Amino acid sequence: MHRVGRHTQVSQIARGCIVQALPHKHRRLVHDSLAHWQPVQVNKNRRDVVVAMSPGDQAGCREKRFTTKHNLNAHEMLHTGRTPYACAHCEKSFLTLHNLRRHMNVHSSKYKCTDCGKCCYSSQELTAHRRIHSGEKPFECTVCSKRFTQTKMLINHSKIHTGEKPYKCHVCNKAFSQSQSLQIHMRVHTGDKPYKCSLCNRSFSQSGHLQTHKRRAHSNRRPYECPYCGKLFKINNELLHHVRIHTGAKPHSCKHCSMQFTWRSQLKRHLLKSHNQGTWLTCNICQKKFSDSGSLKVHLLRHNNVKLYVCTECPKRFYTVNDLKRHRTVHTDLKQFCCGVCGKDFKNKDNVIKIMSMF
């Protein structure tokens, strides 16, 4: 990685003349490594800073421009993976001091949601978060009319319609619309799981996955209530998926035929089976095929007899969180499932389905 001063008066910088082309105060910066230097076209009429990346660079930006050297330096750190600013209260670390200071607002509870207790890092994030509870989605896609709570979510969504995926993985060639998605994807290849649960031994590749795990496995708070039946949920996504049972919504449509599906996983499986689109994931032990990585992971746990989920009431352990949820009904008298034919209450939904099939 090499820097080019924004006042450099040259039309092209190549390996043979790079040191002479740079301003004198920057010449010492290029002596570390010239092995992967690529020629870069510089527009002398633009006051830009240009960075040239090596061919194997993870983020795939061979030439990216910045208006200030500060922004260039911050960008360069994305490629190194360094996050030098560590939080004293948790295991998170950040690329810039500014990001660390914003994160500290989470620990100080400066911006706290009064509905669910979540702490945000800024007033803007809190405003956007509150829309989850209110259901407000003010930002609409002009192509498909899908609505979003934040402008950045709309911008990311719009790339689905344009097909723009400029960030490519150099290991498996998978392409992404966002550089952050590529950085997270690279952990699949490296096996890096930097986010560790302080309450158990599990580690995660994304901070969001860690937060979801803590709410599901280590918390009894259920701040999200179904407006149709009053059922409570720990995670907002669980509520959003549950509501489809009442509304009958099928938001996932096949682009090849008229089929519509309630769940994304159903659409993915349909595309694989009916239209040969996508890639089956194969178990390396028994060769069984799966349409999604989540099902394959659970399947491999069964092969290895790894039971991650432990009941707090007894010593029993389970492969999945759903297996644990079903088991927990043994320790309670709550019967939350009612048969619509005979009116009898049951602890498990499976029992209701079994009774219904008899009529």
The predicted model gives 263-271 an average pLDDT of: 88
Q: Is the pLDDT of residue 247 over 80?
A: yes
The predicted model gives 128-157 an average pLDDT of: 85
Q: Is the pLDDT of residue 194 over 70?
A: yes
Contact between 329 and 347 under an 8 Å Cβ cutoff? The reply is: yes
Cα distances (Å, whole numbers) of residue 352 to 59, 245, 324, 331, 334: 51, 15, 19, 19, 14
Confidence of residue 80 (pLDDT cuts 50, 70, 90): low
Q: Write the pLDDT tens digit of every residue in 220-246.
A: 888 888 888 888 888 888 888 889 888
The predicted model gives 310-325 an average pLDDT of: 86
The pLDDT > 90 percentage for the chain reads 2
The pLDDT value given to residue 286: 92
Q: Which of residues 309 and 350 earns the better pLDDT score?
A: 309
Q: Write the pLDDT tens digit of every residue in 101-137.
A: 888 888 888 888 888 888 888 888 888 888 888 888 8
Q: Is the pLDDT of residue 9 over 60?
A: no
Confidence of residue 20 (pLDDT cuts 50, 70, 90): very low
Q: Is the pLDDT of residue 48 over 50?
A: no
Superfamily covering domain 87-218: Classic Zinc Finger (3.30.160.60)
The pLDDT value given to residue 196: 87
The pLDDT value given to residue 357: 66
Check residue 306 and give left, alpha or beta (phi > 0: left; psi -120 to 50: alpha).
beta
* 227-304 fold: Double Stranded RNA Binding Domain (3.30.160)
The pLDDT value given to residue 88: 87
The predicted model gives 71-90 an average pLDDT of: 77
Q: Is the pLDDT of residue 295 over 60?
A: yes
Mean pLDDT over each residue of the chain, to the nearest integer:
76
Q: Is the pLDDT of residue 70 over 80?
A: no
Q: Write the pLDDT tens digit of every residue in 321-346.
A: 888 888 888 888 777 677 766 777 77
Every domain range in the chain assigned CATH 3.30.160.60: 87-218, 227-304, 309-356
The pLDDT value given to residue 55: 36
**What is the CATH code for 309-356?**
3.30.160.60
The pLDDT value given to residue 63: 60
The pLDDT value given to residue 6: 39
The pLDDT value given to residue 22: 38
Confidence of residue 81 (pLDDT cuts 50, 70, 90): low
Contact between 240 and 225 under an 8 Å Cβ cutoff? The reply is: no
Q: Which of residues 58 and 233 earns the better pLDDT score?
A: 233
Contact between 246 and 226 under an 8 Å Cβ cutoff? The reply is: yes
SS (H, E, C) the chain: CEEECCCCCCCEECHHHHHHHCCHHHHHHHCCCCCCCCCEECCCCCCCEEEECCCCCCCCCCEEEECCHHHHHHHHHHHHCCCCEECCCCCCEECCHHHHHHHHHHHHCCEECCCCCCEECCHHHHHHHHHHHHCCCCEECCCCCCEECCHHHHHHHHHHHHCCCCEECCCCCCEECCHHHHHHHHHHHHCCCCEECCCCCCEECCHHHHHHHHHHHHCCCCCEECCCCCCEECCHHHHHHHHHHHHCCCCEECCCCCCEECCHHHHHHHHHHHHCCCCCEECCCCCCEECCHHHHHHHHHHHHCCCCEECCCCCCEECCHHHHHHHHHHHCCCCCEECCCCCCEECCHHHHHHHHCCC
Which pTM value belongs to this model? 0.48
Check residue 81 and give left, alpha or beta (phi > 0: left; psi -120 to 50: alpha).
left
The pLDDT value given to residue 17: 37
| Cα separation, 51 vs 79, whole angstroms | 12
- The number of beta carbons lying within 10 Å of the beta carbon of residue 242 is 15
Q: Is the pLDDT of residue 155 over 50?
A: yes
The pLDDT value given to residue 270: 92
Q: Is the pLDDT of residue 21 over 50?
A: no
